[in-house]
Structure 1
């Protein structure tokens, strides 16, 4: 099935809007990543100082807690990597929208 340039542009307009909204979450991801890294540092410091787990901590050990935070860090970094790809895609979409001939 063949698509016209006009049809492709109509589809891409919606994709551009969704991609822009996704990119707007970058600041939130950066803040979450910074918080997770600070928490990881705190966990490591508490463990090095021989402090007990906080009473309200849902994890059974520092190791479990650290593993959970490291997982959150990986997830956050993956989200930021995905946003980098989306930024490149947005550039390509915008280039197409501006330069594709309507024929």
Structure 2
């Protein structure tokens, strides 16, 4: 593979990384919202209140388990974005510094 061929491949990857990194704010919002919902669930449960009928869950445990999964998913996405940010830097360095063949 020539340097130019590698650069063509990386151009598409760079765009994918930028797009993914652009979603960081959305993941942060989701994580903030989910953490607030988890606190709310725990408050309702501690107060001995029945599940709200619109919750769609059979128990507080089911609801908490789902929210905890969503929190973990957002945390994993944010972690992945950090890796993509490092990869993007490496790709851009390559693009800027590797000579044409």
Equivalent residue pairs, number = 101
Deviations 1:22-48 (A, max 9, x none): 100000000000000000000001101
**How far does the alpha carbon of each residue in 1:49-75 deviate from its partner, in whole angstroms, 9 at most, with x for none?**
111100111110000000000000001
Structure 1 residue runs without a partner (length 5+): none
Q: Deviations over 1:75-96 (max 9, x none)?
A: 1100000000000000000000
> Normalising to structure 2: TM-score of the pair?
0.98
TM-score relative to the length of structure 1: 0.96
Alignment of 1:1-103 (within 5 A): 3-103=1-101
Q: CA RMSD in A?
A: 0.6
Moved over 4 A (4+): none
